[in-house]
Chain A
Amino acid sequence: MTLYTNLNHVETASQLEKILQENENVMVCCGRMGPMCVPVYGIMEDLEKSGKYDHVKFYDMLFDSPEAGVIRNLPECRGFMGLPFTVYYKNGKVAKATSSIQNLDQITDILDDKFAK
């Protein structure tokens, strides 16, 4: 099962590992098709489409998938109690993680800070 967004989906932990090995900057939004998650997917879709963040790979992942433990159990997500869990990876390492809904400015601030060209 996947999310019905226009983003590329991460479906397994091994797939995520491969993505992280092959890409320097990766943003993964792990959630459901719920009210707090959908706006974040929408922002990611528009950012991907804009071409301004061609150096970043955007993905989503279904929170309830057993495979999503790779994100749910990250130490950086300890204490998170709001969907979605959004994780920014730089060279395979977690550069930043956020819990709950984020707006465009909050997301681009993180992208510009952690994934500066």
Chain B
Amino acid sequence: MNQFDTIILGAGPAGLTAGIYLSRAKRKVVVIDKGIPGGQMVLTHEVANYPGFENISGYMLSMNMKKQAELFGAKVISNASIKEVQLEGKTKTVTLTNGEVYSAPSFIVATGGRSRQLGVTGESDFTGRGISYCATCDGDFFTGKEIIVVGGGNTALEEAVALTTYAKKVTVVHQFAQWQAFNSAIQEMEENPAIDAIMESRIVEFRGNEKLQEVVIEHIPSGSTYVKPIDGVFVFIGYVPNTEYFKGILDLNQWGEIVVNDGLQTSIKGVYAAGDSIVKRYRQITTAVSDGTIAALNVAEFLNSIE
């Protein structure tokens, strides 16, 4: 058994910040993540709105935060294969599939979120073969081709404009009659002659052989469907919190986000939550860092109160 003062689940900006604060306060901390440190931050090509850095890659910012946490003494375990998490009672534990068990009287859930997928037939088959979730990564594979962008928020419209650098035609498919983006993003998209839009519609199937060749689109109000030949599809339809494991254990809202109080304490004593997995309006690296700070300071207070 590896005994710690705090277990932090998730090594994104919230989890690593909490790790920095608690380890700097001489608390024994372990930060455990199923992937590499950084969370969604590592999936960001360039971060231009993190104070103190005019421009930095998400990868470098992640590595800097990890290094800082480790320098203060935090143990960071990446790519962990987690078997079980136990939050009830005075001792919280995380058991890995390799048999290692980590225990602590306090716990911070900082599991973040992930890109939402459409969840329709053919999506997994053609991911990387015509379906992408990253315009900056895969845009150049679609030079001179016709593509679809799915979504109607700021990210979808901004990426649709960015993808016209490569694609000869971009069609935005959106499920509602109105956009969910800022006026500036809508205007820039509408003024781009290489972009058109299909409203109140959704993709219900991806088809192809070695790579994506066509999609089936449903007009939602009428239920009618038709086939559209296409070279590629980029999906930008928001995020889902990584909280499935905590359903029935912690209080979650209807979107699966963890319900916390002002001190970021969850429905279980000694268990706090921070970052994109909690109920909140703005999901930025800076707000995750803020959450990690608040959760860590409250955990420190909690630990003092039980000693």
Contact = CB atoms under 8 A, between A and B. Distances in A.
Contacts of A47: 79
Contacts, number: 85
Interface stretch (A9-17, A21-29, A98-106): A98-106
Contacts of B81: 104-105
A33 to B, nearest CB: 6
Given A43-B79, A99-B129, A81 B59 contact: no
Contacts of B133: 36
Interface string A26-40: 000000111111110
B307 interface: no
Contact of B211 (A39, A46, A79): A79
Interface residues of A, number: 24
Contacts of B130: 81
Interface string A44-80: 0011000000000000000000000000000000111
Given A35-B45, A35-B58, A82 B79 contact: no
A38 B36 contact: yes
Which bracket fits the contact residues of B? 20 to 34
Interface core residue of A32, A83, A98, A105 (most chain B CB under 10 Å): A83
B78 A42 contact: yes
Contacts of B42: 35, 38-39, 42
A77 to B, nearest CB: 10
Contacts of A82: 127-129, 131-132, 134, 137-138, 141
B18 to A, nearest CB: 21
Contact of B79 (A42, A78, A80): A42
A34 B211 contact: no
B132 A103 contact: no
Query: Which 4 residue pairs are nearest across A and B when measured between Cβ atoms?
Result: A99-B128, A100-B128, A42-B36, A82-B128
28 contacts: A34-B45, A35-B43, A35-B44, A35-B45, A35-B134, A35-B136, A36-B43, A38-B42, A39-B36, A39-B42, A42-B35, A42-B79, A43-B36, A43-B79, A46-B78, A46-B79, A47-B79, A79-B210, A79-B211, A81-B129, A81-B138, A81-B211, A82-B131, A82-B132, A82-B134, A83-B138, A99-B127, A99-B128
